Amino acid sequence: MKKVVVSASLLGLVLFGCFKGGVLNRDLVFKTKNGPVVFSHVYHVKVKKQHCFYCHPKIFKKKFGADKFTMKDIWEGKYCGVCHNGVKAFDAKNPKNCSRCHKQERR
């Protein structure tokens, strides 16, 4: 019973840290050669109801920028490609979808 209480307390602290720290309430921007990629935690977690543990640490490390990957990796079903395969979510391979992640910088 003590292990359950300790585990639940630790989980609560982790989740509180994510929400309180603002990670879930802001977009993450990754600089790439094809333009910045904007990832919305709000959309993925709050709108699509994806729990943090769905992606972390199974698909992505928790530390921002710790994962180094390419479009080839995504097209092979890794990282974003785990979901963005045309079945679970829009297909990252389809050229019509590039602008859904790669945002043009405003001048």
Q: Map out the domains of the chain as residue ranges.
A: 25-100
* pLDDT greater at residue 26 or residue 11: 26
Q: Residue 29 pairs with which residues in a beta bridge?
A: 38
Q: What predicted TM-score, i.e. pTM, was given to this entire model?
A: 0.75
Does 3.90.10.10 match the CATH number of domain 25-100?
yes
Q: Residue 39 pairs with which residues in a beta bridge?
A: 28
Q: Is the pLDDT of residue 27 over 60?
A: yes
* pLDDT greater at residue 26 or residue 92: 92
Which amino acid does the sequence have at 18?
A: C
- Average confidence (pLDDT) over 61-72: 93
* pLDDT greater at residue 22 or residue 29: 29
d(CA 101, CA 74): 12
Q: What is the mean pLDDT of the chain?
A: 83
